[in-house]
Structure 1
Amino acid sequence: MKKYYFKEKFFKITDHYPILDDNGRKAFFVDQKFKFLGYEATVSNANNLEIFTINRKLISFLPVYQIDFKDSKKKMTIKSNISVFRKSIDVISEEGKINVKGNLWDYEFKAYFEGELIGEVGKKILYFTDQYQLKVHDENFTEELIALCLSLNNIKDMEEEATMNNN
C-alpha cells in the first residue's frame, strides 16, 4: 500500500502544489487552471511529464468530470449520483467501473473495483488549508485514484461555495 498527501493553498484562484508520497518526496504535481466557469487541472509526474487532465463538464445536473490520460489515450469519467445519506460516485473507464462510497461532509471515501478495495481518501482536519491523504491499495489504479481525489475535492469546494451563497 502506498500513501499520497495533497495540501492545497490557503488562497486559491489557481492552484499549483506537489502531491507527496509516504516518504515526503514530490511524486506528482497539480496545476489548476484559472477559469470563471468549470474546473480544469493537469497532473504531472515528478519529471514534469503530463500524465492526465481533468475537466468538469459545465452542463450537467450533477458534477461530471472527464479525465484524459496522455500516454495511453484512455479516458475516464467521474460522475456524482443522487444519494440520500451518503455520497455515491461512479468512475467509468475502459477497465470497468470503480464504485466510490463515502461521506462528503467528513470527506471519507472508499473505492472498489470488482468488489475489491483499491483505495481510500480521507481529509485531515484542523488545518487552515485542505489536506488529504490517499491510500492506494492497488497500485494499478494510482492515477485513477489521484484523479478521483482531485475531483472529489472540487465537488466539495462547489458544495461549500453553494452553501455560502445561499446564506
Structure 2
Amino acid sequence: MKKYYFKEKFFKITDHYPILDEDGKNAFFVDQTFKFLGYEARVSYKNDEEIFTIKRKLLSFLPIYYINFKDEAKRDMTIKSNLALFRKSIDVLMEDGKISLKGNFWDYEFEIYYKGKLIGEVSKKIFSLTDQYELRVLDEKYTEALVGLCLALNNIKDLELASSSSGR
C-alpha cells in the first residue's frame, strides 16, 4: 500500500503543486493552466515526464472529464457527474470496466473499487485552511488512474462550490 497527499493552494488561478508520497517527498506534479472555461491539467513525475492529462468537456450539462495516459498500456478514463434525486453520483469508465465509488466522495471519505476489488481509499484531512486529502492506493497498478480520479473529483467539487456561492 502507498499513500499520497494532495494539498491545494488557497487561491487557484493557476496551479503548480506536488503530490507528496508517504515520506513527504514529491511523487507527482500537477500543472493546471488558467482558463475562463473548462479545466485542463497535466500530471508528471518529478523528472517532468508527462504521465497523463485531464480535460473537462466544454459543452455539457454536467461535468465530463477525459483522462488520457501517455503510456499506451494504460487505459484512458472518462469521469461523468450524474444528476441524482437526493445525492450526487459519478460514473468512472475505463475501456474494460467501471470504477465504483462507495462512501461520501463530496466530503472525501470514500473507497474505490474496480471489478469488485478494493483498489484505493480517500480521506480528507480535518482542520486545514485549504483542501488536503490522502489517497491510499491498495493496488499500485492503478496509482496514476486514482490520482487522476482524485483531481477530477476535486474540480467537480470546486465547480459546485463556485456555483452555490454565486447563486446566493
Q: What's the TM-score once normalised by structure 1's chain length?
A: 0.93
Where does the alignment leave 5 or more consecutive residues of structure 2 unmatched? Answer: none
Provide the C-alpha distance between the structure 1 equivalents of 2:40 and 2:31, rounded to a whole number of angstroms: 9
**Displacement of 1:142:** 0.5
**Displacement of 1:81:** 2.1
Q: How much identity, in percent, do the aligned residues show?
A: 67
- Cα–Cα, structure 1 residues 137 and 87, in superposed 2: closer, same or farther, change >3 Å? farther
- Cα–Cα, structure 1 residues 112 and 86, in superposed 2: closer, same or farther, change >3 Å? farther
Q: Counterpart of 1:36 in 2: which secondary structure?
A: coil
Provide the C-alpha distance between the structure 2 equivalents of 1:90 and 1:120, rounded to a whole number of angstroms: 17
- Structure 2 equivalent of residue 64 of structure 1: 64
- Structure 1 equivalent of residue 49 of structure 2: 49
Q: Which runs of 4+ in 1 moved over 6 A?
A: none
Where does the alignment leave 5 or more consecutive residues of structure 1 unmatched? Answer: none
In the TM superposition, 1:1-167 aligns within 5 A as 1-72=1-72, 74-167=75-168
Provide the C-alpha distance between the structure 1 equivalents of 2:50 and 2:146, rounded to a whole number of angstroms: 16
Q: Counterpart of 2:141 in 1: which secondary structure?
A: helix
Deviates more, 1:60-69 or 1:97-106: 97-106
Provide the C-alpha distance between the structure 1 equivalents of 2:90 and 2:113, rounded to a whole number of angstroms: 11
Which amino acid in the other structure matches residue 26 of structure 2?
K
Report Cα offsets for 1:110-162 as digits up to 9, x if no partner.
21111111111222122111111101111111111000000010011001001
Query: Over the residues paired in the alignment, what is the CA RMSD in angstroms?
Result: 1.5
Q: Counterpart of 2:107 in 1: which secondary structure?
A: coil
